[in-house]
Homo-oligomer: A and B are copies of this chain.
């Protein structure tokens, strides 16, 4: 951490600051220049609140040298983490495809899709029971009833299941869920993250719409600092000025995260692009970039016109995609 002092700093205040920094076990290197005096702080600066120092009247700015996360940091944990989701492994060379509908609508719908995606090669089943919707008037999910249906589909297919939690109060229903999803809008719901950190289940943490890679890792750190180190990260598009896609898929998150963390990274091309026809090329791109998995929306053959999700693949499209994914996998970028 580097502290840049204001030109006219007061020596007494500097003395106080130095004493306080030393009390945290840090070494201080002072460089006095014509225009600026700079303090270089050496030691474990993870524990230092940069905002607090930035707030001092004698400080002009603080620049971070070291990342402010520890448990999620590859520097302190060089080996890839491998996370067990039911009987399936994610990370460390294990690439998995999570598939299923955005919302659980009925047992028939979910079980049909579940069997179909399993046959195509998906290894984890997704399905939303609690649905975060921008409008209070939009369908909010089947909730408890949806959870029951999801467990039925798990039993039927043997696939481990992932579904989203929106509030701490819902967690009682998640006992038999294999992977608990934190949605983009809750990435900085810190009370929820802390609660999940006290659980013994893997967490799928989606990147917030306007969250930086570092903020994503800080949210993972919230979970991990409470004891639960089984976190899978998910890039699902960020909000930019471009409106041709629902969000902008930031695929460079894959190599960046591979560098900074040992946690696995999964890509969700369905939410990122918002259009089914963009999903297959982006799914292949994600695999090529070395992602540890995909999360793809699949919806069953429309029995009536109203059931074909704008970003969902049909089971047939998904089957084609799985063949393409399997074909390209050996040629994906490798990080080690």
Contact = CB atoms under 8 A, between A and B. Distances in A.
Contact of A306 (B52, B250, B306): B52
Contact of A289 (B190, B221, B285): B285
A69 to B, nearest CB: 8
Instruction: Quickly give the copy total for this chain.
Output: 4
Interface residues of A, number: 113
Interface stretch (A30-38, A80-88, A147-155): A30-38
A323 to B, nearest CB: 10
- Looking at A31, A42, A58, A281, the one whose CB has the most chain B CB atoms below 10 A away is A281
A136 B221 contact: yes
Contact of A305 (B31, B56, B65, B328): B56
Contact of A42 (B34, B249, B324): B34
28 contacts: A29-B33, A31-B40, A32-B42, A47-B137, A49-B137, A55-B312, A56-B306, A135-B218, A136-B218, A136-B226, A166-B189, A168-B169, A239-B241, A242-B250, A248-B252, A249-B252, A252-B272, A252-B282, A254-B285, A281-B333, A284-B288, A284-B289, A285-B286, A285-B288, A285-B289, A288-B328, A328-B332, A331-B331
Q: Can you list the 4 inter-chain pairs with the closest CB atoms, starting with the nearest? A: A33-B42, A210-B210, A29-B31, A288-B288
